[in-house]
Structure 1
């Protein structure tokens, strides 16, 4: 006598506290990420701060006097070829996942994942950077950031992105 395996599906609890640009949390039987692009430029006089923190008597100056600021040339060529395969089962079982902080271009993939053509470009000016944690104190700081470029953060991303994905019909 042949028995069929028994599958128990548990509820999944996800806790995601912070996700930066071009990051992903993909949970599933089949995850396909194809041709994801993210480009950014940011000027921040004051960065992020954790909870219960104290900032007092600080001076922040950020000067970004560029003639041309962040020209982006993103001429990607995406080529996707699908291969139809016999159906398959992917079983993912866990009770919880805790993601405290994902920085740029980070990923958490659970299951059968196929990823191609993922790119991220970033230029950041911060007069005061990020302060992580709790109960931090910053007192009487002076932060100066001068970024006077003629052309700032030229991003040229013209590439060919290919992928071969198997798909169950």
Structure 2
């Protein structure tokens, strides 16, 4: 093996990663080679209030969420994943980060540092929020009323049956 490649693989780099908020099916991958195969997330959420950060004031909040579904979020995710490895000679990859700051990642988001092979990334989401999200500091909310009424017979049918082929290159 090449001495430069071996030195990069064994080196400890000064990396500082700070992530404040991540939602479903999100990721931060740091490395010489990142392989993601068949990453899936499915969710259904009824949030009567939502999310708050620190230093917030909520006063006299009334939240009502009604979701009388007959069939709630049927998910049919029969994916066919085809995985093929291709070997190649190792490249020289230098990753040197002083800092990586991610303030907010919404669903199905990613930060990839290095050689990344990603295949089959799915995310399906249905959310009913009576209030929503509140981010930041020193927010004030006074005398709010939130009503969320969602009387579906079939709520959020997801039919995600697909063929996902990927060719991944492996070092070594």
Indicate the TM-score class for this superposition, using the shorter chain for normalisation.
over 0.9
In structure 1, what is the Cα distance between the partners aligned to 2:42 and 2:92?
36
Report the CA distance between 1:147 and its aligned residue.
0.3
1:28 aligns with 2:31: yes
| 1:123-155 C-alpha deviation (Å, 9 max, x unpaired) | 000000001111101111111000010000101
1:122 aligns with 2:125: yes
| 1:59-97 C-alpha deviation (Å, 9 max, x unpaired) | 110000000000010100000111111122311111111
TM-score, scaled to structure 2 = 0.92
Runs of at least 4 residues off by over 2 Å: 4-10
Report the CA distance between 1:17 and its aligned residue.
1.1
For structure 1, the residue ranges without an aligned partner over 5 or more in a row are none
Question: Which deviates more from structure 2 when the two are superposed, residues 82-91 or residues 25-34?
Answer: 82-91
For structure 2, the residue ranges without an aligned partner over 5 or more in a row are none
Match of 1:167 among 144, 166, 170: 170
Q: Count how many residue pairs are aligned between Structure 1 and Structure 2.
A: 166
1 or 2, which has the higher helix percentage?
2
In structure 2, what is the Cα distance between the partners aligned to 1:20 and 1:115?
18
In the alignment, what sits opposite 2:142? 139
In structure 1, what is the Cα distance between the partners aligned to 2:143 and 2:14?
49
In structure 2, what is the Cα distance between the partners aligned to 1:89 and 1:30?
11
